[in-house]
Structure 1
Amino acid sequence: LAALGVAPIFLLSVLAVAAVLILRAIDAEEAFSFVDGRLLTLIFAMLAVGAALQASGAVELIVKMLVPILSQLPPVLMIWVLYLITSVLTELVSNNAVAVVVTPIAIALAQALGVDPRPFVVAVMVAASASFATPVGYQTNMMVYGPGGYRFTDFMRVGIPLNLSIGLISSVMIPLIWPL
């Protein structure tokens, strides 16, 4: 419904949660036991950082630096550059935080270039979710890092080629599905 413009996604998600609780598909105590408070805190903090970046003019500054470079590139390379920036950041910080901070930049960048922002946002979401090169960027990586006896370099050795492969595939496929 959100994709069709019927209602905002936030409203629909709140209604869905309310319906699940009212219909007793899951009780409130069990539902809240699955909410990770630290992750919510991080997401809210990054929303504040994202808002601060926009209010301070930092998003505009970043966009002004990137537009002259990206405007000369074909769509595949535009997506590739945005993917690489997001991918590097998501290996250093939580993927959720990177997605929240980079998405407004991607949207502003697309608007400045005069193209559809959806492919840029999809590239950010894929890159932020494809965190394979370090144990830092994604919670599951950290969960297997210690118990599995892995070293940091193990993640890099396997993860960097995987990140690059997914980036290349995404850079080709995203503009085909969502033309710029």
Structure 2
Amino acid sequence: MTEIVTNNAVAIIITPIAIALGNDLGVDPRPLVIAVMFAASASFATPIGYQTNTLVYAAGNYRFTDFFKAGIPLTFGVGLSTCLAISFWM
């Protein structure tokens, strides 16, 4: 969601869902909230996901697809490293 909506809005929408999911599953909701925090901040694949991406997009004469090429692998890398870090924390 953070690629099309601002990261603050995604965090506000998804955090209560993550907390409720953790409570319903009987697990500590803190790791789920941390995952939401990192996921909401990982807006690398589009220029509209974060303000800095939009500034760089306009100033650098980038194309929309340029963000896909660099952003999708970076998003997967951040997601994988976040999952590994959370699994060690639990």
**TM-score, normalising length: structure 1:** 0.49
- The CA distance in 1 between the partners of 2:82 and 2:8, in whole Å, is 19
Q: Does 1:128 align with 2:40?
A: yes
- The CA distance in 1 between the partners of 2:23 and 2:88, in whole Å, is 19
Q: Does 1:175 align with 2:83?
A: no
- 1:73 corresponds in structure 2 to none
Moved over 3 A (4+): none
CA RMSD of aligned residues (A): 0.7
* Percent of paired sites with the same residue: 62
Report 1:23-172 matches (<5 A). Answer: 89-172=1-84
Deviation at 1:143, TM superposition (A): 1.0
- The CA distance in 1 between the partners of 2:28 and 2:75, in whole Å, is 25
Which structure ranks higher in relative contact order (CA pairs < 8 Å, sequence separation ≥ 6)?
A: 2
AA at the equivalent of 2:88: L
1:109-163 per-position Cα deviation (integer Å, ceiling 9, x unaligned): 1111100010000000001111100011111101111111011100011000000
AA at the equivalent of 1:154: D
Largest Rg, 1 or 2: 1
Unpaired runs of at least 5, structure 2: none
**TM-score, normalising length: structure 2:** 0.96
| Equivalent residues, number | 90
